[in-house]
Amino acid sequence: MNDQNDRPDDDRLKQLAERADRLEQRAREDGVLPTLEEEGDGIGPQTGVVP
């Protein structure tokens, strides 16, 4: 089996990435995912990293 033949072309990959970005943004707007502000910077007791 040749993996090169199974790989989607670059345009298809770009379309999928754009769709994923739109779905992620919609999920944030709908409250399914936290907003970027709510996520914070990843520093503090929840992550175990000391500021």
Q: What is the pLDDT of residue 35?
A: 83
C-alpha distances (whole Å) from 34 to each of 2, 11, 28, 47, 48 are 40, 30, 6, 16, 20
Six token digits for residue 51:
């500021």
Query: Residues 6-19: what's their mean pLDDT?
Result: 93
Residue-wise pLDDT for 23-49, tens only, equals 999 999 999 988 877 776 665 555 555
pTM to 2 decimals? 0.60
